[in-house]
A and B are shown apart, each in its own frame.
Chain A
Amino acid sequence: MEEPAAKPGAPRQLALEQVYRLAGSLGSELQRLSDLCGSAAVAALVPQVVCLLELLEALAAGAGPRKLPQREAATATAGEEVRPAASQDEEETLSEGRKRERLLQVRLAQVEEENQKLLGQLAGGQSQADRATHKEREVMLRLKEVVDKQRDEIRAQAHEILSKSRDTEALQEQLSRFMAVNEELRHKLAVVQLQLKKALQEKEALENALLATSREADRLKEAQRGKESSRPGMDKGAAAAPMEEAPSRDQGGRCFSKEELQEILQERNELKTSLFLVREELAYYQRELLNNERIPSLLLGAMQLAIRKQHKKIRAKMLGTTEESGSSDEEEGVWLASPDSDTVDGSVAQSRIKSFFGLWYRSGKDSSTDAYPGAWEIVDRQEVDPEKEEEERKGA
């Protein structure tokens, strides 16, 4: 109806109207789509469509600046003019769609911004994580080092403990050896003391017997003298003789001859000597134990041997007997090389080693033989323990 009237400007008016119609249908279509698929589905589409429609509108309307401000109104009026019946709600829909468009645009911008922000955050987070792993690795390495060190330390300590426990074992063994030696010596001492006691008892009994015998002898002598004086003719020599043998003759079994007495005395002297030597030995070992000296068993054995040999010599000296093996080698000249200090307070003198190598420390060794004992009665250690020195050499 209006079309023919607007024939001369038809292409332009038509185009404009067509644009609006297009816009309206597109708007409703989009509305429908958005209802159907949610506003997000068309969110990206709307601005482009609007943009296109605007371009189309501008193209259709021509570059009339006066018309642009009134575009809405123009469209509306144009819509009304072209289709007065349908345009009312179409326009509403359009404006509504536009509003929505704007809203959606704003939201999109927001979302994009947010997205950008998140991306940035993500990038930052990743670099942070990188740094964290690096640090972690370093820590792990350090930790490994520490663990290694501690493991080595533990191993060393375990080794130390092992060697210490071995030491302890050895010491305990030594201690028990010493205890055994001590026990043995105590036993020996007890035995000798018992023997001595018996011998002393015996001695007492003998003394009593002897006393009685001598009294008897005196009495008999008196009687004999009385007889002699009464019988002056008797031989004097015969009277002197029985005096010495009186004890053996007079009382038969009860008395002792001079030889027997000498034997008993000898035995007593021997026992006394033994006691003295055993006491010496005991004192020596006690001192060693008290000093807590560590003595290797080899040395200990050698020492025992040396002491025993020395004691043999001392015994011979004390009893005034000569040793079978030849004490002719008694030396007096070795005084020069004799003992180091026997300590008074029981501490061991320093040069133990030297004493073992005594041979090297003596200057004037004298091996000349003297049949007669000299002023000194010396039992020299060198004489006594060559074995020990040999042991030393073997040990060394």
Chain B
Amino acid sequence: MSLLAPVRRDRVIAELPPCFTKEAALHSRTSFHPKVVGMCQAQRTGTVGFKISKIIVVGDLSVGKTCLINRFCKDTFDKNYKATIGVDFEMERFEVLGVPFSLQLWDTAGQERFKCIASTYYRGAQAIILVFDVNDVTSLDHTRQWLADALKENDPAGVILFLVGTKKDLSSPAQYNLIEKDALKVAKEMQAEYWAVSSLTGENVREFFFRVAAQTFEGSVMAELEKSSARRIGDIVRIASDERDLYLTEKRRRAKCCQ
């Protein structure tokens, strides 16, 4: 039995969602890593946990970070600009390969004067979404700086990067093709996955966030696998010695955590 509420049907991920373009994708696989799939199948008999991954969304002011999040989480769009004060967050619950999984999407303020407040929320992110306006080349250039700032608080090897161009509906195909070249170059530099979306029309928004959820999930499971396999031997020994009194073990562990 789960202590968690059920997940919405339209937030169930059973297959790895495809990337936007193969030119700038995190990897070229078309399905989840077999190890991850096996793990998810095996752990179904275990107990309940609550997994949250922290995602931060950064980028210049008024590129559409809040709109992007609102389109996905609330399916709304507000044309009027309203600056985000400091930070805000939205929770989005998924079920990936049968495992409940939550994304906490941190929407940060793009305005320079809120940067000092917003940056205190950067820490502990599993993925960084760098947002720029496809109609504004400078916002694309600024993503490098945003990334540098975000990486000050995070382990560069442990985070997954996404570069997202917004307001695609406002750009003509020719203009878009032009900026896409630059964006792909930047994405490759950063080793980020590139996406272009429109929060107004909703184009690619859902696909993008599903990809984020799936990749974050997979990355975390892989990291866990590595860690747990490194510790396996010690665990077996420990568990064998405790086997006779599990109740006592429980007590001891609690006592330790309450110190």
Contacts and interface: CB of A to CB of B under 8 A. Distances in A.
A100 interface: no
A180 B48 CA distance: 26
Interface stretch (A42-50, A227-235, A371-379): A371-379
Interface stretch (A78-86, A112-120, A133-141, A360-368): A360-368
B52 A339 contact: no
A284 B48 CA distance: 13
Nearest to B158: A375
Most chain A Cβ neighbours within 10 Å, of B39, B235, B236, B249: B235
A349 interface: yes
A269 interface: yes
B259 interface: yes
Most chain B Cβ neighbours within 10 Å, of A211, A342, A351, A354: A342
B250 A359 contact: yes
B173 interface: no
B6 A352 contact: no
Nearest to B126: A375
Interface stretch (A20-28, A146-154, A312-320): A312-320
Contacts of A325: 257-258
Given A283-B5, A320-B124, A335-B43, A342 B95 contact: yes
Interface stretch (B83-91, B136-144, B196-204): B83-91
A261 B53 CA distance: 26
Contact of B231 (A269, A303, A368, A386): A368
A53 B123 CA distance: 159
Interface in A334-351: 334-346, 348-349, 351
B6 A362 contact: no
Most chain B Cβ neighbours within 10 Å, of A206, A358, A359, A377: A377
A335 B228 contact: yes
A355 B1 contact: yes
B7 interface: yes
B43 A338 contact: yes
Contact of A258 (B2, B116, B221, B250): B116
A89 B216 CA distance: 157
Given A359-B246, A376-B51, A339 B43 contact: yes
A303 B43 CA distance: 22
B228 A317 contact: no
Contacts of B158: 375
Chain B interface SS verdict (over half): mixed
Most chain B Cβ neighbours within 10 Å, of A334, A336, A367: A336
A342 B117 contact: no
A359 B245 CA distance: 11
Range, interface on chain B: 35 or more
A258 B85 CA distance: 11
Given A344-B12, A375-B158, A339 B85 contact: no
A336 B99 contact: no
B46 A338 contact: yes
Nearest to A353: B1
Interface string B36-61: 00010011111111111110000000
A258 B116 CA distance: 9
B98 A318 contact: no
Given A341-B2, A375-B224, A376-B224, A335 B49 contact: yes
Nearest to A272: B89
A375 B3 contact: no
Contacts of B249: 359
Contact of B47 (A262, A346, A382): A382
Given A377-B51, A380-B47, 10 more contacts: A283-B6, A287-B6, A328-B257, A335-B49, A335-B221, A335-B228, A336-B46, A336-B228, A355-B48, A381-B48
30 contacts: A211-B83, A269-B87, A280-B5, A282-B5, A306-B3, A310-B50, A320-B121, A326-B259, A333-B227, A338-B43, A338-B46, A338-B47, A339-B2, A339-B46, A339-B100, A340-B1, A340-B46, A342-B6, A342-B7, A345-B9, A351-B45, A355-B1, A364-B231, A365-B235, A375-B220, A375-B224, A376-B220, A377-B124, A378-B50, A393-B247
Interface of B: 1-9, 12, 39, 42-54, 82-83, 85-89, 91, 95, 98-100, 104, 113, 116-117, 120-121, 123-124, 126, 158, 219-221, 223-224, 227-228, 231-232, 235-236, 239, 246-247, 249-250, 253-254, 256-259
